[in-house]
Structure 1
Amino acid sequence: MYAKCRRPADARRVFDRMPARDRVAWNALVAGYARNGLPEAAMEMVVRMQEEDGERPDSVTLVSVLPACASARALRACRQVHAFALRAGLDEPVNVSTEIIDAYCKNSVSWNAMIDGYAQSGNATEALALFKRMVKEGVDVTDATILAALQACGELGHLDEARHVHELLVRIGLKSNVSVMNALITTYSKCKRTDLAAQVFNELGNKKTRISWNAMILGFTQNGCSEDAYSLYHCDGQTFRTINEILMSVYHVLV
C-alpha cells in the first residue's frame, strides 16, 4: 500500500519490521521500488532476497525488476537478469520474455547483444525472430547484427532468410566488409548452396583473406565437393596456406 502511494521509504520500514519475510513480501518491495523510479534499490532487493532469506526470484520478481533495468538504461543489469532467467528456466512465460525484450529494446546497443546471445547459445530461431523485429522497428543494423543473423541462418539452414540478410547488408553498405562477406560464405555453404558461396567468394577479389579461403574450402568439403576444394587449394597465390590447415579443416568436418 505504501509503495503504491509513492511512499517507498515507509514501505521499507514496514518490511524491515516483519518477523518473517517470504517471496511475496520481497516481490512487493521490489515492485514498489521499481514503480517509484528506484531501479538501483529494486536490483539491490533482488540480490538481498537471495542472500538474506534464501528466496529465489521467480517470474513475478523478474517482471517487476526488468522495467527498472530498462528505465535506468542498465544494460549490464538487463544481461544479468536475462542470464538468470535462462539458467532458472524462467524465460518461457510470455510476460517474462516480453519484459526481457522490452528492457533490451530501450537500449539500442542491446539489440545486438541479445541477438548475438541467442545465436551463440544455440537459440538460432529466437535470434532470427529478434533480428526481424529489429529491422521492422527501424533500429539501425550494424555489422555485428548482420554477423549474428547470418550465424542463425546458417545454423537453421534457412536459405531464403540468408538471402534477405544478404540483400540488407548490400543496402546498408556492408558489401565491402570482408568479415561480413566471409560469414556469408559460411552461411550459404551451411545452406548447401556452394554456388552462392562461391559467387560471394569471387566477388571479394583481391580482398580475400586466409579466413575467406578457409571458409570456401571448408564449405566445399562439407558439401561433398572434394574436387572443388582440392582445386581451390591449388589456385595461384595461395602460398600462405599449408597442407596442415586443409587437413585440419577436413578433420573437423569428419569427426
Structure 2
Amino acid sequence: MQLNHKQKPDANGYIFKSLCMASPNLSFLAHLLQECIHSNSFQGAQALHTLILKSGLLLRTFLSNRLLQAYLKAGLPSFAQKLFDEMCTRDLFTWNIMITGAIKAGNTGLARKFFEDSPCKTDVSWNSIIKGYAQEGGGPESLRLYARMIQEGHRPTQFSISSALQVCARSSSLHNGKLLHCQMHRFGLQGDVFACTSLVDMYCRCQRLDYAGHVFYEMQDKNIVSWNVIMTGLSHNCLVEDCLIMFKELLGTEIEPDHITFAVVLSSIAALANLSCGMQVHGFVTKTLVVKNVFVGTALLDVYAKCGGMEDARRIFDAMEERNIVTWSSMIIGFAQNGYGREAISLFKEMTALGIHPDSFTFVGLLMACSHSGLVEHGRYYFDCMKIYGIMPDDTHYTLLVDLLGRAGCLQEAREIINSMQNPDAAVWGSLLGACRVHKNLVLGEIAAMKIFDIEPCNASAHVLLYHLYAECGEFEEAAKVRKKMKGIGVKKDPGYSWLEVDNVVHSFVADDNSHPRMNEIILVLEEMVRNIEKEGYVSDVLSFREDGRKSYHSEKLAVAFGLICASFEKPIRVMKNLRVCDDCHITMKFITRISGREIILRDVSRFHHFRNGECSCGDYW
C-alpha cells in the first residue's frame, strides 16, 4: 500500500515509537489518532487500528470515529467505509464524519445516502450536504435541501445560508438571493460577517452593486474577506475607479490588506492603464509581507505590460521566486500586445523547456504575438501544437488564427478555416471583414458582413467596417446605403476618445470637443506641429473640418499635443484610445517623434504602438 503523498515523513516514526513506549489506554490512543489525522498517516492509522482491535477497545465509538477521520484524511475512503460497516454503535459524529468525508472525496451521491440514512440530522449534516451540492455544481438541489431544512424545523446557520447564497451568485438568481436576504433578517443572521459577505458577493455577481454597497456599509464587523469581495465585485463590473476608492477606504481602517486585495487592486489599475497609480501600489507592496506572493507579482507585471512598460514587467518577472502558468501566460501576452512577437515565442520555449505545461490562455498569447508580428508560419505551427498538449482550440483561438492569416493577405485560407468551424461566431467573421478592408477585397468582405448580420443584426463594428470598405473601394452608393441602414436601425458608431495622465490627473479628449480648458493652446501647438512635419514630407489624408472652420483632429492627436505641452520631456507620452488608431494618426505619430525627439506610447483597442525616432514597434503591421 502506498503512503498518501501529503503524509509527514516523521509521523509514522513518532507514532510507532510511542506505541512501543507505553501501554495502550483510551486517552493515549485518542492522542495518537489525532496525530494520524493531522499528519495524514495511513500506516500509523492502520497500526493503531490493529492495536485497538487487539485491546478490545473498538467498541468505544469515539475511538472508531477518530479512526474514520484518520482514514478519510489520508485519502482512503474504502477503509473508512469498511470500518463504518463493521461498527456496532454509531453516534451523530459518526454520520457527520462520513457525510463530510464523502463530500471532500467529491462523492455527493454517497454523502446524500449517509445523510438520508442518518437517524438524526444536525446543523453540521445539513450544512455539509447543502455545501456539498453547492460546490459540486448541484445548485438547484442545494437550494431544495435548504428549503427542506427550514420546512423540517431547522434554523439555517451562517454556513448553510452562505452556501445557498453561493448558488444564487453562480446562477445570477437575484430573486432567490433576495429571499435569502429576507431570511437572514428573519433568523437573526444580518449581523454575521460570514453570511453578509456571501450576500455582498451574491449582489455583486447579480450586478446589483447598489444593494451590495448598502449591505457592505451596514456591516458592523468587516474582515479582509468582506473588503476583498466588494472590491472584486466593483472591478468585475467595470467600476474599477470605485474599486480604487474602496481600497483607499480600506487603508484608512485597521484591517491589513492581503495578497488577494493587492491582486484585485492591481487588476483594476491594469484595466485603467494607470501607470503612476500602479507604481504607487507597487511601492506600497514592497513594504508588506505579500511582496513575494505569486498572484501579486503576476498582477504587478500585468500592470506594467498594460501600460507599455515591458522592461519593468520583465524585471518583475525575472525577480519572482515562484511563477505559475498564469504568470508565464501573462508575460507572453504582454509581449504580444506590445508587438514583441519573437520575445513571446522565446519565452514560450523557455517555459516548456522547464516542463511547464501551457494552457489555453498561453496559446491565446502565442497566436496574438504571431498575429501582431506577421509571423504566419509560426502561427500555423502553434495552432497545430495545441492538440499536442491536449488543448482543443476555442472561438478565441480560431479568431486569432483568422486575424493572423487575414492580416498577411491569406484571405482564402482564412475563409477555409472559418468554414471548418462548427458554429463560427460574429467575432471570427469580424476578423475576416477587417482583413478584407485592409486588402480591399470587396466580394469576400460582403460575405463576411452578411454572416455577421445574420448572427448580430445590429453589430455596429461590422456596419462601420463595411461602410469604410465600400468607400475605400469607390462604391460610394453602397456606402451611403450602409450609412442609411445604420440610421434606420439605430446603430451608431462608438465615438473615439483618447486619454492620458499628467501629474496624477487623467485628461480625456474627443474629436471636435472644446471642453478641455486648454483646447485653444492644444490646437495651436498641433497646427504648428503639423506645419513642421509637412516640411518633412507628411501629407494628411484627413480633410474634414469643424464648424468653426478649423481642421478636425482625431482624439489621439489632441492627446499627444497636450502631452507635448505638459508631459515631462524625460518620460514617454502615454496615450490610450478606445478604438483602433487610423492610418493618418499612425503616420503623424511617427513624424512627431522624428522631429521632436519625444517617445510616444499609444495603446489602441488591440495593441501597443511604441513610436521612437520616426518608427513604430508594429512595423506598420497592425
**What are the equivalent positions in structure 2 for 1:22-101 lying under 5 Å apart?**
72-77=191-196, 79-80=198-199, 83-84=202-203, 91=210, 97=213, 99-101=214-216
Separation (CA, whole Å) in 1 of partners of 2:282 and 2:341:
26
1:215 paired to 2:330: yes
Structure 2 counterpart of 1:204, one-letter code: M
The 8 Å contact of residues 185 and 197 in structure 1, kept in 2 or not, is answered as yes
Compared CA separation, residues 203 and 168, structure 1 to 2 (3 A): same
Partner of 1:27: none
Residue 131 in 1 paired to residue 250 in 2? no
CA shift for structure 1 position 147: 1.0
Aligned residue type for 2:221? K
Separation in structure 1 between the aligned mates of residue 282 and residue 207 of structure 2, nearest angstrom:
36
Query: Is the counterpart of residue 227 in structure 1 residue 342 in structure 2?
Result: yes
State the secondary structure of the residue aligned to 2:290. Answer: coil
Residues 81 and 134 (structure 1), Cα distance of their counterparts in 2 relative to 1, 3 Å cut = closer
Match of 1:204 among 294, 313, 320: 320
> Residues of 1 paired with 2:285 and 2:347: CA distance?
26
**Cα shift at 1:113:** 1.5
Deviation, 1:88, is 8.3
Aligned to 1:9: none
Any conservation in 1 of the 2:262–2:296 contact (CA below 8 Å)?
A: yes
**Per-residue Cα deviation, 1:81-117 (whole angstroms, up to 9, x for no partner):** 674588586829xxx94x4442347311311111122
The aligned length equals 188
Aligned to 2:229: 113
CA deviation string 1:44-100 (max 9, x = no partner) = xxxxxxxxxxxxx9xxxx9xx8xx976x234424543674588586829xxx94x44
The 8 Å contact of residues 75 and 107 in structure 1, kept in 2 or not, is answered as: no
Q: State the AA in 2 paired with 1:156.
A: L
Give 1:51's aligned residue.
none
Using the aligned pairs only, state the percent identity. Answer: 21
TM-score by length of 2: 0.27
Q: Deviations over 1:178-237 (max 9, x none)?
A: 2221221122212222121111011125x3343322221111001212132133334487
Instruction: Give the residue type in structure 2 aligned to 1:203.
Output: A
2: CA distance, partners of 1:234 / 1:74: 47
Question: Match of 1:233, as an amino acid?
Answer: F
Quote the Cα distance in structure 2 between the aligned partners of 1:147 and 1:243.
Answer: 22
Deviations 1:133-175 (A, max 9, x none): 1113342110111111111111111112211221122111222
> What is the rounded CA distance, in whole Å, between the counterparts of 2:236 and 2:207 in structure 1?
18
Whether the 8 Å CA contact 1:69–1:78 is kept in 2: the answer is no
**Matches of 1:132 and 1:244, distance apart in 2:** 35
For 2:264, the equivalent position in structure 1 comes to 148
Cα contact 1:82–1:100 (8 A) shared by 2: no
Give distance in 1, aligned partners of 2:254 and 2:197: 22
Checking the alignment, whether the CA contact within 8 Å between 2:204 and 2:233 is kept in structure 1 is: no
- The structure showing larger relative contact order (alpha-carbon pairs under 8 Å, at least 6 residues apart) is 1
State the alpha-carbon separation in 2 of the partners of residues 167 and 111 from structure 1. Answer: 21
Q: Is the 8 A contact 2:197 2:229 kept in 1?
A: no
Indicate how the Cα distance of structure 1 residues 140 and 194 shifts in structure 2: closer, same or farther if over 3 A, else same. Answer: same
| Higher strand proportion | 2
Instruction: Decide which of 303, 308, 314 is 1:192's aligned counterpart.
Output: 308
Is it true that 1:175 corresponds to 2:295 in the alignment? no
Return the alpha-carbon distance in structure 1 between the equivalents of residues 207 and 324 of structure 2. 42
Instruction: Name the one with the larger helix percent.
Output: 1
Q: Which residue of 1 aligns with 2:279?
A: 163
Kindly indicate whether the alpha-carbon contact (under 8 Å) linking 1:151 and 1:187 is maintained by their aligned counterparts in 2. Answer: yes
**Distance in 2 (alpha carbons) for counterparts of 1:184 and 1:190:** 10
Could you tell me which amino acid in structure 1 is paired with residue 268 of structure 2? A
RMSD: 3.7
Q: Which has the larger radius of gyration?
A: 2
Contact 2:304 2:313 in 1 (8 A): yes
Deviation at 1:240, TM superposition (A): 2.4
Cα gap change, 1:233 to 1:186, in 2 (>3 Å)? same
Return closer, same or farther for 1:208/1:82 CA change in 2, 3 Å cut-off: closer
In the alignment, is the contact (CA less than 8 A) between 2:335 and 2:344 conserved in 1? yes
- Residue of structure 2 equivalent to 1:52: none
Distance 1:164 1:147 in 2: 14
- In structure 1, stretches of 5+ residues that fail to align are 1-39, 41-56
Contact preservation (8 Å) 2:344, 2:366? no
Distance 1:81 1:152, change over 3 A: closer
Return the letter of the residue paired with 1:137: T
CA–CA separation in structure 2 for the residues paired with 1:231 and 1:198: 13
